[in-house]
Amino acid sequence: MLSSSLPRTPARAFLLLLALLLTLLRPSAPFSDREEAQIRRLQEYLRIPTAHPDPDYSAAASFLLSLARSVGLRTLTLEFAPGKPLLLLSWPGSDPSLPSLLLNSHLDSVPAEPSKWSHPPFSAARDPATGRVFARGAQDDKSLAVQYLEALRALRDSGFAPLRSVHVSLVPDEEIGGADGAARLAASEEFRGLNVGFVLDEGQASPTDEFRVFYADRSPWRLIVKAAGPPGHGSRMFDGGAVENLMNCAEAVARFRESQFDLVKAGLMAASEVISVNPVYMKAGIPSPTGFVMNMQPSEAELGFDLRLPPTADPELIKKRIDEEWAPTIKNMTYQLIQKGPIRDYAGRPLMTPTNETNPWWPVFEQAVKSAGGKLAKPEILSSTTDARFMRQMGIPTLGFSPMSNTPILLHDHNEFIEDKVFLKGIKVYEQIISALSSLPGY
């Protein structure tokens, strides 16, 4: 039989070779039926329009609830604000008295501008040549929810039984500050009942073959400085004018900004490790029908700044600097400081999760990623803010982790995508992580 299929003529040999080559060059890796089904479930979730200002929370929740039920998880739907469901999915461990593992993902997404995308942002179109699945939320962070659930499904099917309970929280409103989502969850009775010992939340894609992991977020502050002073003719030079005083403020802030930025430029610190401060608006001048009155010095002026503090910063020192240098009262300046996030936990400790053996979950997490064939980059501080801060504020070790290597960082960008094989690999990584962490013996 074998010999009859062997080439007998050069033409046949050529055709056979061609067929072989085409097989080898087939662009997308062949996946199993199970994997194809996992990709389809990701696409189905990505097609639900979850962008602000009008995320379809009810469709997202019902999709995830049915997925969770098919995995055999316990489900609980909370609603801290009307129309904003929050799902808690649980797999009880054999010793539920031990602190549990919580996997968090948010239901909402930022908006997208469809005209700037190569595929509609909620089509979840999968490019056959590259395996890229295009959707708003593909990286940030709807893929995580499906990966968590698929990893749990695989573990269940393999007969695994966790020692510690494993929970998944799917929360609304992360992209608009989390006040009705993770913040309310962390403060709730239900959350206390989960006895959470360790949290995994979203991280960021990595363009290299290392996964990134984040142990802290920077805390965003908003600073508004207002100056008041005597008005005067544009021709007069006098001390104490509002704009003049405000310009002194701008100069003092610029000097501080430079001192921080220099550390980054010199390679001594990462951008997320310094205090960033950037002017975001200026308001002054007396409007006229053609623009501004040009021969009058106004009696009021205002400057707005975006400030970001790493957990290592001392918030009292920054306040002192604002009081004494940036907006001193004796210079007729007042300020408003809106702290959009905490910088210390409930016990006054910096909001950082140790990534060394003082955190018993860390070496297990690190080893699990390795066992799944992954590499971890040096732990980092995230430049922006996520729901992780609410968990850290409760004193719970929390890492930001999205297992997407060799992937450009496209969160909030046009043409956000996740590659099918990267998504599938992430499921395997979570299988290892969940099985290892939920088996961590009592401590």
Ligand X SMILES: *[C@@H]1O[C@H](CO)[C@@H](O)[C@H](O)[C@H]1NC(C)=O
Q: Which of 358, 441, 442, 443 binds ligand X (CB under 6 A)?
A: 358
Binding-site residue set for Zn(2+): 106, 140, 175, 202, 412
Taking the complex as a whole, how short is the minimal distance between the CB of residue 108 and ligand X, in angstroms?
31
Q: Which residue among 174, 180, 273, 420 is the active-site one? A: 174
Q: Does 387 bind Zn ion (CB under 5 A)?
A: no
Q: Is 217 a catalytic residue?
A: no
Q: Is 108 a catalytic residue?
A: yes
Q: What string marks each residue from 158 to 197 as x (binds Zn ion by CB under 5 A) or -? A: ----------------------------------------
Q: Does 23 bind ligand X (CB under 6 A)?
A: no
Q: How deeply is 31 buried, as exposed, middle or buried, from its count of CB atoms within 10 A (0-12, 13-18, 19+)? A: middle
For residue 402, give both structure tokens: 């999205």
Closest to 440 measured CA to CA, from 128, 198, 109: 198
Q: Does 352 bind ligand X (CB under 6 A)?
A: yes
CB distance 146 to 41 below 8 Å: yes
Cα–Cα distance, 96 to 117 (Å, whole number): 46
Q: How far is CA 238 from CA 137, 227, 402, in A?
A: 55, 15, 57
Taking the complex as a whole, how short is the minimal distance between the CB of residue 174 and ligand X, in angstroms?
25
φ, ψ at 101 (rounded to 5°): -105, 135
Closest to 422 measured CA to CA, from 364, 374, 367, 363: 374
CA torsion through residues 177, 179, 180, 184, sign: positive
Q: Does 217 bind Zn ion (CB under 5 A)?
A: no
Tokens 């930001």 belong to which residue? 400
Q: Which of 332, 393, 402, 407 binds ligand X (CB under 6 A)?
A: 332
Question: Which range touches ligand X (CB under 6 A), out of 238-246, 286-294, 301-309, 311-319?
Answer: 238-246
- Residue 386 CB neighbours (<10 A): 25
Tokens 């500050």 belong to which residue? 177
Name the residue nearer to Zn ion (CB basis): 297 or 393: 393
Question: Which range touches ligand X (CB under 6 A), out of 105-113, 252-260, 287-295, 349-357?
Answer: 349-357
Footprint on this chain of ligand X (rule: CB under 6 A): 229-230, 239-240, 245, 330-332, 352, 354, 356, 358
Footprint on this chain of Zn ion (rule: CB under 5 A): 140-141, 202
